[in-house]
Structure 1
Amino acid sequence: MTSSTFDSTLSSLGIGRSGTAATPTTTTQAASQTLDQSDFLQLMTAQLKNQDPFNPVDNTQMVAQMAQFSSVAGISQMNTTLTQIADKLGATSASDALSYVGKTVLAPGNVAYGRTSGGIAGAVQLGDDATDVTVAISDANGNLLKTMSLGAQDKGTVSFDWDGTNDAGESAGSGPFTVTTYATNNGTTVNSQALVWAPVAAVSMPSDGEAQLTLPGVGQIPVSDVVEVG
C-alpha cells in the first residue's frame, strides 16, 4: 500500500499519522487519538479493501500482522486478569474487617476517651524531624487541661501517655478529651497528626471500596488508616 493510500486510510478512521487525531470531513464526532483492537481490525479491513489488485498484500505480512494482533490482545487480557488478582489479594476480606470489632486500634483522630485507670495514651505522627513536639489536651468545652512537651523527635511515630491530671494535679475526669499536636524544627512548622487509641464499635462493608471501622469519638475510618492494634 502506498504512503498516500495509508494516510488516506488513517484519515478515514479519524487517526493522524503522527499520532494526533485527524479531522474527518464527513463527521463531527471527536476522533480517537489511540489505536485499540477495534481500530486495528478496521485498519486491516481498510487495507485489504484498498490494496492494489495487481500487487496484493503478501500472505506472510498478513499472518505476521494477525500474530501481532493476537499477541497484543493476549497481553492486554493478561494484564487485566493480573490487575484483578492484585486487587483481590490487596483487599481486606469481610472476616478480616470483622475481626477488628471489640479491639482497640491506634488511628488518626483528635478525640479520645479516658481509660479506666485515668488519662489517655496516643501518639504523634511526624512528617519530618522536629526539634520540639508538644501535645495539648483539652476538655469537651475546649478548656486546656495539660500541655506536654516531647522534646526533639525524629520523623515517624512518637508515643505519649497522659496520666489524666491537669496542670494543677487534679483529675480531669473521663473525657472526652481533645488532642492537639504542634511540631517545629528550629522555628519552622513540621506537619504533625494526632493518633488516638479507640475501641472498634462496628464495621461496615460497602459494596464498592474499603471496609470502614466505626470508632467512638473519631467516627468512621478506612481499615488502611489503622496504625496499630492493641
Structure 2
Amino acid sequence: MSSVNATSSVLDQYQIQPRESKGDELGKNEFLELLVTQLNNQDPLSPQENGEFIAQLAQFSTVEGIETLNSSMNSLVGGFQSSQALQASSLVGRSVIVPTTVAQVDTQSTFKGSMNLPYYSTNAYVNVYDSAGSVVNRVNLGAQQAGSVSFMWDGTDSSGNKLAPGTYRFEAEAYIEGEPRALNTFLPANVDSVTLGQNGGEMQLNLAGIGLVPLSKVQVIGQ
C-alpha cells in the first residue's frame, strides 16, 4: 500500500492523470511515463539521487516481470486446457483398468481382472457377487507368489449356467500365514465420457458401471 500511496503523491506533484488499468494497478506504461516525467521536471540544481533513480528502475523491472509472468501463466493454462481436451477425446470409448471392486460385465466373453498380492499365499481366490449381493461363483487361484495376480471369470455361476450381462462385484482374498486377507482388485471399465478439470482441477472419467473416477486412479489404458 505504501508504494501505491507514494506513486499517487508523485502523480499529484507533477499533475499527471494516470490512465485506467485493470484492478486500479499501475501498469508498466504508466510507470515509465511517470519516471520520464520525473526526470524532465527535476530540479537541475538538485537532481535526483542515483540511489532513488536505481530504486525506481528496479520497481519498473519488477512490474514488467510480473506482467510477463502473468502472460506466461495464461499461455501455460491455455496449453494445459487444450492438452486436456485432446486427451479426453482420445479416451472416450476406450477401456481402462482402475482399482475397484465393481465392473460392468458382458458375460458372453471372458472377464479378466487382477489383484495385488503383498506376500506369498497358500490359497488365493475371488468371490463374484451379482447386483443383489449374492455370491454366484468363486474363482480359485491356488498358491500364488507376491505381486500382481491375474484372474478370469467365464460369466457362469457355480453350476456352470451362463449368467446375464450386468454389474458384478469382485472380492479377492488370500490366505497369508494361515489368515484370510482381503486384497485390492483392478478391473476394466469402458470410458463413457470425460469431464475436463476446472480451474486446474483433475480430469474425471465417467466409467460404465462405476461412475466418476479421477484420471490419476487409472492404472492402464487399453484399446
Which category of TM-score, normalised to the shorter sequence, fits these structures?
0.5 to 0.7
CA displacement, residues 80-105 of structure 1 (integer Å, 9 cap, x when unaligned): x9xxx8xx88x962211221101111
Q: Is the 8 A contact 1:92 1:211 kept in 2?
A: no
> Is structure 2 residue 194 aligned with structure 1 residue 223?
no
* Aligned equivalent of 1:129: 119
Gaps (5+ residues) in structure 1? Answer: 1-73
Deviation for aligned residue 1:212: 0.5
Distance (whole Å) between structure 2 residues aligned to residue 106 and residue 95 of structure 1:
20
Q: Which of 91, 99, 114 is the matching residue for 1:108? A: 99
Distance (whole Å) between structure 1 residues aligned to residue 163 and residue 153 of structure 2:
11
Distance (whole Å) between structure 2 residues aligned to residue 225 and residue 205 of structure 1:
15
- Matches for 1:29-178 after TM superposition, within 5 Å: 93-115=84-106, 117-126=108-117, 128-131=118-121, 132-150=123-141, 151-155=143-147, 157-178=148-169
Q: Which of 174, 182, 186 is the matching residue for 2:177? A: 186
Q: Is the 8 A contact 2:107 2:162 kept in 1?
A: no
Moved more, 179-188 or 134-143: 179-188
Give the SS at the match of 1:99: helix
**TM-score, length-scaled by structure 1:** 0.56
Name the aligned partner's letter for residue 161 of structure 2: E
Deviation for aligned residue 1:141: 0.9
* Aligned equivalent of 1:196: 187
Deviation for aligned residue 1:116: 6.1
CA displacement, residues 127-152 of structure 1 (integer Å, 9 cap, x when unaligned): x1231321110111111111112231
Distance (whole Å) between structure 2 residues aligned to residue 161 and residue 100 of structure 1:
25
Provide closer, same or farther for how the CA distance between residues 173 and 101 of structure 1 changes in structure 2, counting only shifts above 3 A: same
Provide closer, same or farther for how the CA distance between residues 204 and 158 of structure 1 changes in structure 2, counting only shifts above 3 A: same
CA displacement, residues 151-195 of structure 1 (integer Å, 9 cap, x when unaligned): 31322x322111111111111221221111113321345562122
In the alignment of these two chains, the number of paired residues is 171
Gaps (5+ residues) in structure 2? Answer: 1-64
CA RMSD of aligned residues (A): 4.1
**TM-score, length-scaled by structure 2:** 0.58
Provide closer, same or farther for how the CA distance between residues 92 and 212 of structure 1 changes in structure 2, counting only shifts above 3 A: farther
Give the SS at the match of 1:176: strand
> Is structure 2 residue 203 aligned with structure 1 residue 211?
yes
More helix by share: 2
Q: Percent identity?
A: 29
Q: Is the 8 A contact 2:107 2:163 kept in 1?
A: no
Q: Is the 8 A contact 2:102 2:168 kept in 1?
A: yes
Give the SS at the match of 1:159: strand
Distance (whole Å) between structure 1 residues aligned to residue 95 and residue 182 of structure 2:
25
Provide closer, same or farther for how the CA distance between residues 170 and 102 of structure 1 changes in structure 2, counting only shifts above 3 A: same
Deviation for aligned residue 1:216: 1.6
Distance (whole Å) between structure 1 residues aligned to residue 135 and residue 195 of structure 2:
35
Distance (whole Å) between structure 1 residues aligned to residue 214 and residue 83 of structure 2:
10
Provide closer, same or farther for how the CA distance between residues 203 and 142 of structure 1 changes in structure 2, counting only shifts above 3 A: same
